[in-house]
Amino acid sequence: AQTVTQSQPEMSVQEAETVTLSCTYDTSENNYYLFWYKQPPSRQMILVIRQEAYKQQNATENRFSVNFQKAAKSFSLKISDSQLGDTAMYFCAFIPLGGAQKLVFGQGTRLTINP
Amino acid sequence: DTAVSQTPKYLVTQMGNDKSIKCEQNLGHDTMYWYKQDSKKFLKIMFSYNNKELIINETVPNRFSPKSPDKAHLNLHINSLELGDSAVYFCASSQSGLGDYEQYFGPGTRLTVT
């Protein structure tokens, strides 16, 4: 069974700082996608960034980037120049490309950006 | 312009009642999902439909019954509601074959059973 683990239940940083959220996953699949979703207090789930497992290059979206280490099954999210609007729950998620394509989520990390 | 919509956004009801949550997507996607987010914020898939056909059915009490009248709609009916059913329920959709596997989520329905 696939599992996703986020070992940091909560994190807090000052505005403009850089913060890294950790995620590890367990799978025997070779082809899969990884995602980071953001859930602000509004409850809406918003895709932040995605990574295809077959791509070695780390994905980047503006201030958001990932460090994807396939052998270590690690997928961390780095937020640069953090902003107050980044305050949210962040979920790491995994989807295998074979079989039933179920999106499996980690437990989430509550990130607070302080002014 | 709403991509994935759910109604209602809030639902408060008593134990033993039957209720439904509706979901509609206007993205033209062929696959729709129901997820449950518990009080600890953990998200877990419940069901998935592809072109009105059930393809994922997790270990969910049979009091929960999804219904997909067409590929743009996936409703969730819950019979004999229990206190433990209190949660936020999210509908999502995706398009198979595009290669990005992104799922688009609705705003969620907060169900409170008293």
Residue B33: other Cβ atoms inside 10 A: 28
Q: How many CA atoms lie within 13 A of B79 on its CB side?
A: 7
Total beta-carbon pairs less than 8 A apart between chain A and chain B: 46
Residue A76 binned pLDDT confidence (cut-offs 50, 70, 90):
very high
pLDDT in tens, A14-27: 999 999 999 999 99
Give mean pLDDT, residues B68-96: 94
**DSSP state, residue B74:** E
Name the residue in chain A with its Cα closest to that of B31: A101
State the average pLDDT for chain A. Answer: 94
pLDDT given at position B90: 97
Residue B101 tokens, joined: 């596997």
Give mean pLDDT, residues B38-58: 90
Q: Does residue A98 surpass a pLDDT of 80? A: no
Give mean pLDDT, residues B21-28: 96
> In this structure, what is the dihedral angle of CA atoms A67, A72, A74, A79, given to the nearest 10 degrees?
-30
pLDDT given at position B1: 66
Does B108 contact A33 at a Cβ distance shorter than 8 Å? no
> Which residues of chain B make contact with A95, given a CB cutoff of 8 A?
101
Closest CA–CA distance from residue A43 to any residue of chain B (Å): 7
Give whole-number Cα distances, B56 to A17, A101, B32, in Å: 41, 8, 10
Does A43 contact B107 at a Cβ distance shorter than 8 Å? yes
The residue among B51 and B91 whose pLDDT is bigger is B91
3-state SS record for A38-89: EECCCCCCEEEEEEECCCCCCCEECCEEEEEECCCCEEEEEECCCCHHHCEE
Q: How far apart are CA A86 and CA A62, in angstroms?
A: 13
Residue A66 binned pLDDT confidence (cut-offs 50, 70, 90):
very high
Interface subset of B 58-77, CB within 8 angstroms of A: 58
Name the residue in chain A with its Cα closest to that of B58: A102
pLDDT in tens, A42-61: 999 999 999 999 988 999 99
Q: How many CA atoms lie within 13 A of A106 on its CB side?
A: 30
pLDDT given at position A99: 67
Q: How far apart are CA A51 and CA A89, in angstroms?
A: 19
